[in-house]
Structure 1
Amino acid sequence: MRLVLVALILGALGCSSSLASRPEDPGDTGPEPSNEEPSVPERASCTGLSEGPGTHEWTVSHAGRARTYRVHVPPGYDATRPTPTVVAFHGFGSNPEQLEVQTGLSTLADTEGFLVVYPRGLSAQEISGGTSPPRDNTRGWNAGACCGTAQMSNIDDVGFVDALLADLDTRVCVDPRRTFATGFSNGGFFSYRLACERAGRFAAVAPVSGMSPLNGCRPSRPVPVLHIHGTADTVILYEGGNNIPFGRAYPSAEDSVRSQAERNGCGGAVVETYRQGDSTCSAFTGCSPENATASLCTVRGGGHTWPGSPVSAGNPTQDLNATLEAWRFFQTRPRP
């Protein structure tokens, strides 16, 4: 019976029910930094880059593995001009193709003129030394508290992101001051981790249904955060918990945002910034710098879904478009 219950929980995350033994846990001290932050390139223009519009699949070597990522380049892209870039991390048991459809990010990118990068997490088979199809349902990220084999095996996914961005810089003209991260569920947890450990590269993050580390977050600069979450999410609980199989305890959505506000020195009032139907957003203000706000969008009765998604699974609210709100948030928050 216990195996069945765990399988059901994993299934809700879109995961495999294969169960691996967890290595000894050194304690819930939060994720350890992969290494020192790499230097961030500064550029006013690019030369010698020929990749054009369309969707590309690229591979980079990291830690002895071939790691892949998907990139959507919008029409009208100019290979000589630094272009805003959104890096989007799929949930546990999902993949880049599913996230691309779930979020509609590529469609918005075509209108707004930004690049979208969809990294692919490792599967349990790949971690153990085998191979697996692109849509293997055990894929995930080592986000500290979550999820699966990547977290249990302490995979250096932060280092993979470093390698990915370095490779990406040789292919397309990325604007280093306007590089952002978002993600769903396990991917949301991981975008919070990047805000802690790669604040020098990611200007702002927008996690959906993913929490911040309980502790151990020491960003090199204030990072604006837009957190989006449903109150009836039964997979990643709005009020926090420790219900993730083989995962660690995680804070509530409100505590995640409050902690980020404290890190960003936000001493002003909490103000409402959005209200429509079942959805409201509020922001901590008086931050340093002023635009380093920590904001929480709450969907009352919302489940484990991407708000505004064109995909009907889970009946996502249409009162809030998480993709559009994240992009609006990012546009006014370049890295200093």
Structure 2
Amino acid sequence: MLLRFLVMISLMCLAPASFAMGPATPACMDDVPCVLGDRSYHLKLPDDWDGTTPLPVMLHFHGWQRTGALPVKHQRISGATRRRGVLLLAPNGLRKTWDFWDSETEDVAFAAAVLEDAARRYPIDPERIYVSGYSFGSAMAWRFVCENGDGVAALLAVAGTLRQSEDCPQAPREVRHVHGLADTVMDFPVGPGGDETYPVALWRAHFGCMEGIAQGSWSAREFLTFERTTWECDGGRVSLDLHPSGHFIPHGWIARQLDELLGLPPSYP
């Protein structure tokens, strides 16, 4: 599905650009959802976009009992994307949740269709597609890249995973995950022998990673410190940020990941 999307984007890039005149289909953004069949999604354009430059994209899955209307207004989500030239896409889950428990889910195809629909409205950079989510939405982001991740630049996952025993047929080029050690909502998945790197064991195995490298502490805000471990692997790159608190989207975490991925100086917000 994503391969089809990337081919479509490549063909569109060969055609004369008409995006400077605005979307070819009726406008939808922020609180006004984009209708896609019997479902919908929200989007947020970056600040100061010139109307023609291809846009990096962050596809973000909302948390349980939320909708895509929240991420496009959330300071720690859209506050990060809109300042960094990134188009934010926020699909709406059926009954305000996601079906990520196994591979037999229609939500993967729906999310791929969201990317395709957004590409008809705006020019998208196919080399910079990021997939993100929070809580149940983070598990859904894992499921999406597990089933349809070839071509995704990075997974940016916040406080939610799949079972580490999953066998993923596809994968993004890079995985970045953050989790609180005191999380009791999507419980921190401690591994055998108290292994605190277990939240990314699936991807470490998938990519053939060797020993992790402790990168030390970092923080975007003085009240929350992360401990980062990274793995350079044969098939991709993995990083895990741990903090001592609970279940939330950490201030500045998404922003810092985008800064690093886009080659921008780290900043807040």
Distance of 2:164 and 2:203 partners within structure 1: 11
TM-score normalised to the size of structure 1?
0.65
AA paired with 2:254? T
Letter in 2 for 1:143: F
- Corresponding residue of 2:267: none
Change (3 A) 1:303 1:285: closer
CA RMSD, aligned part only? Answer: 2.8
Counterpart residue number, 2:44 = 72
Superposed CA deviations along residues 33-73 of structure 1, whole A, max 9, x for unmatched, are xx795352353576233238963521112xxxx11111111
**Which has more helix, going by share of residues?**
2
The separation in 1 between residues aligned to 2:75 and 2:227, in whole angstroms, is 19
The amino acid across from 1:288 in the alignment is: D
TM-score by length of 2: 0.80
8 A Cα contact 1:222 1:264, kept in partner: no
Say which SS state the counterpart of residue 42 (structure 2) adopts.
strand
Unaligned stretches of 5+ residues in structure 1: 1-34, 124-138, 146-150, 242-251, 309-320
Aligned residue in 1 for 2:214: 271
Q: Deviations over 1:84-129 (max 9, x none)?
A: 0111110111112223344532233332111111111011xxxxxx
Give the aligned partner of residue 35 of structure 2: 59
How high is the sequence identity, in percent, across the aligned residues?
23
Q: Which has the larger radius of gyration?
A: 1
Structure 1 counterpart of 2:231, from 277, 285, 302 = 285
- CA 1:306–1:78: 2 relative to 1, 3 Å: same
* 1:1-336 aligned within 5 A: 38=4, 40-41=6-7, 42-43=9-10, 44=13, 47-49=17-19, 50-51=22-23, 55=30, 57-61=33-37, 66-123=38-95, 139-144=96-101, 155-221=105-171, 223-239=173-189, 254-272=197-215, 274-276=217-219, 278-288=224-234, 292-300=236-244, 302-308=245-251, 321-331=252-262
* Structure that is richer in strand per residue: 2
C-alpha separation in 2, matches of 1:211 and 1:266: 18
Equivalent pairs counted in the alignment come to 247
* 3-state SS, counterpart of residue 95 of structure 1: coil
Q: Report the secondary structure of 2:44's partner residue.
A: strand
Structure 2: state its 5+ residue gaps: 264-269
